[in-house]
Structure 1
Amino acid sequence: MDWSQVDVTIPQRARGAAPVPGVHMAGFRYRGARPIDITMVAHPAVTLLFDLGDHGWTAHDDAGKRTRGSVAIGLLPGNVSLTGAGSGACLQVRLSPVLAAQILDTAGLTRTFADLDDVLGPKARQLRSDLRSTTSWDERFAMTYDFLGGRLDARRRVDREVAYAWQQTSVRQGRSDIQTLAVETGWSRQRLWSRFRTQLGLSPKQAARLVRFDHAARLLADGTPPAEAAAQAGYSDQPHLNREVRSIVDTTPVGVATAPWLAIDHAAWPSFMPRGRQR
């Protein structure tokens, strides 16, 4: 795939519908003719991919699971790749785990992916049709904000203690232990662990691993040497980083550093990337 042929558009403030907290979106248009073959990189968010092209793609993993077209990818999904015939467009939506838990069954998506209609229901088909009916990214972003905002259900809430624990895990880049978080929330360790896992779909320890990995991955993508990235991200040493990278995405730190899906994040979500050297 020729990444120089990818155009990226992100929502502009004060345009269209009101943004929904916990949602990050980007529109991708691929003008090239070469086949698409992209390996996803684990990210501390639930990812919704709306296929808006004519050729379509297939999401698949090492276990042989395959889903054609629009797809939802959960937390810690393993090795997921997208393959397709060529040019097309895609809307990528990232939901914070807390927001995702209010909109869909996050626990059912952890460590896997699913057809988008199975996750969002029949109304997702109408949204996808509406997204395809226009070439304006501003309109597409507004439609999606309206759709997601409309799915927020007052009956499905994440406990504020669980939301706090996730927020602190993210802010502290995975360097927060469950006992400290329990003390800060006023809950017992067992209760926080149980409610966190039930509501967000992964344990606090898994969440910390994912956030720490994401920090290291972005340092690597930004050109930081593996040993330095390991130290900055809180790993005991480079071999520790190597083991975690292998466990989460079955590749090496060098493989993560050159992953196209992270490289394109510089354009789509530059604020997510570390400040410093540019590749």
Structure 2
Amino acid sequence: MRRAGGPREAAARWDISTPARPGRLPGIAMAGFRDLSTAPLDLPVIPYPAVTVAVDLGDGLIVDDVHGRQQRGGVVFGLVPDGVRVRGRNIDCLQIRLSPVLAHAVLGASLESGGEMVALDALWGRDAARTHERLRAAASWPERFAIAEAALARAHEAGRAVDPEVAHAWRRVEGSRGQVRVESLAAEVGWSRKRLWARFRSQIGLTPKRAARLVRFDHAAHRLAAGHSAGSVAVESGYADQSHLHRDVMAFTGATPTAVSAAPWLAVDDVAWAVRGRASSGL
């Protein structure tokens, strides 16, 4: 989490654990967070091209959405969690990022944009409660990662995969860093633009165009957080100009590129979400 008094100070707040090796299912990234600070936490969640599952392993995590709803315990939020904030104190939690292609099968549904978040037990029922209990009782992070991976694998096996055409379209959107036209995607999969739009939205949770904007924004946000100027980021990320970048960043976060470059949520990305484990790598 980035720059309260600077990125190092913000990141130092967290003891972060990650799996020692990639898991069996591609498109999943996991990290464990233990709060080393006694100060209260209150962070906005920056949109990211993955569905996020947060499992509270203590009693300190609170997640609020733009509608004033509050979740504790286990929560899932979608690709563009408008107005979602993470609050609490002495937080101990497991966070899982799922490629939206994988998430459709694992969760049994897609989460629409607009700040939607749901309790994990609303999706997994009793299995969620049992898995949560085992995670809280586990003695180590490797054990927790193994429990979570096994639960995700079971859900994936029982779930329904997205259409191959939708999976291909997502891979192209991500691989191009959001710089691909919907017409080109439709032609590649042999569908009409209208059919691709409808199927992609129902299974991924966003339209292809908005998904492309999100992937492009994510690349730009991480470049900004790495210290690159807004002008250079706009050029390399495919924006028409710096004003275009500014408008897109404001649309996704309600903040300026300068503010996003210092966003606490981005400060630990290089530690918690190493490139080899980024959930947005898809399937």
Same fold (TM over 0.5): yes
Structure 2: gaps of 5 or more residues: 5-9, 278-283
Q: Offset at 1:39?
A: 1.6
1:81 paired residue among 60, 85, 89: 85
1:98 paired residue among 96, 101, 109: 101
Q: Offset at 1:70?
A: 2.1
Deviations 1:44-99 (A, max 9, x none): 0000001112x322211333222233211111111211111x22311110000000
1:172-251 correspondence to structure 2 within 5 Å: 172-251=176-255
Greater RCO between the two (CA within 8 Å, min separation 6)? Answer: 2
Report the Cα distance in structure 2 between the residues aligned to 1:117 and 1:23, rounded to whole angstroms. 19
Equivalence for 1:256: 260
2:129 is the alignment partner of 1:121: no
Report the Cα distance in structure 1 between the residues aligned to 2:195 and 2:217, rounded to whole angstroms. 26
Kept in 1: contact 2:177–2:219 (CA 8 A):
yes
* CA RMSD, Structure 1 to Structure 2 (Å): 1.9
1:43 paired residue among 48, 52, 55: 48
Equivalence for 2:57: 52
Kept in 2: contact 1:72–1:119 (CA 8 A):
no
Deviations 1:197-219 (A, max 9, x none): 12112110011011011011110
Kept in 2: contact 1:73–1:109 (CA 8 A):
no
Equivalence for 2:24: 19
Q: Offset at 1:158?
A: 0.8
Indicate the SS of the match to 1:13.
Answer: coil
Q: Offset at 1:105?
A: 4.5
> Structure 1 residues 45 and 226, CA, compared in 2 at 3 Å: closer, same or farther?
same
Equivalence for 1:276: none
Indicate the SS of the match to 1:152.
Answer: helix
Q: Which runs of 4+ in 1 moved over 4 A?
A: none
2:169 paired residue among 143, 165, 168: 165
TM-score normalised according to structure 1 size = 0.90
Report the Cα distance in structure 2 between the residues aligned to 1:137 and 1:182, rounded to whole angstroms. 43
2:141 paired residue among 134, 137, 143: 137
> Structure 1 residues 232 and 182, CA, compared in 2 at 3 Å: closer, same or farther?
same
Report the Cα distance in structure 2 between the residues aligned to 1:272 and 1:213, rounded to whole angstroms. 20
> Structure 1 residues 66 and 131, CA, compared in 2 at 3 Å: closer, same or farther?
same
> Structure 1 residues 63 and 206, CA, compared in 2 at 3 Å: closer, same or farther?
same
Q: Offset at 1:5?
A: 2.9
Moved more, 173-182 or 112-121: 112-121
Kept in 2: contact 1:74–1:106 (CA 8 A):
no
Indicate the SS of the match to 2:110.
Answer: helix
Kept in 1: contact 2:54–2:93 (CA 8 A):
yes
Deviations 1:6-33 (A, max 9, x none): 111111127xxx5211101111111221
Report the Cα distance in structure 1 between the residues aligned to 2:159 and 2:96, rounded to whole angstroms. 23
Moved more, 122-131 or 104-113: 104-113
